Amino acid sequence: MVKTFLTGLILLCGLAHASAQCPNGWKTYDTSCYLFGHTPYSFHESQVFCLHFGASLVNVESYYENMFIRGELVTLKAPQHWMGLTDEVTEGIWTFYPSEKVATFLDWSHHLIDWPQPNDGLRGNCAAYFEEHDYHWVDEPCSREFNPICEMPVNHPHIVG
């Protein structure tokens, strides 16, 4: 009985894994799964949060990926979210976290004319989406606590069932 139940459970999990694009609660876009966290953490704690799921802070690589995320944030009415982008290594050179690959697509906010981003120099080394900036990007001190956006590849070996 127990063995049958377990076999059934394993089969179910196997099926769920084979057909699932992304785990429950995650959004699918193109070849990635995204989790919009509801709890604020520092930038580095946010990465630890994402690592719990085998994911990483989102690396926004294109206009379309950015539009997808901004659309989700508008729907969530979320105030601020971290992404995996930092100039901690070299001031002014924005690289994906943690790969340190230089980002080619950038969407710094010019939404507030007298508050163009990035504007915080050595103080602001981590990038976030801000509601006040119409969900364009701002640089902020990495110690500030915002909600994480995690990303992992679709069909990444994650725990289902």
**Which residues of this protein are in contact with Ca ion, per CB under 5 A?**
87, 117, 119-120, 124-125, 138-139
Residue 68 Cβ vs Ca ion, minimum distance, rounded to whole Å: 23
In the complex with Ca ion, the residue whose CB is nearer, 20 or 136, is: 136
CA-atom Rg of the chain in angstroms: 18
Nearest to 128 by CA among 64, 58, 25: 58
Residue 26 Cβ vs Ca ion, minimum distance, rounded to whole Å: 29
| Residue 128 · residue 28 · CB < 8 Å | no
In the complex with Ca ion, the residue whose CB is nearer, 34 or 135, is: 135
Residue 121 Cβ vs Ca ion, minimum distance, rounded to whole Å: 6
In the complex with Ca ion, the residue whose CB is nearer, 111 or 158, is: 111
Nearest to 118 by CA among 92, 81, 89: 92
Residue showing tokens 């909600």: 147
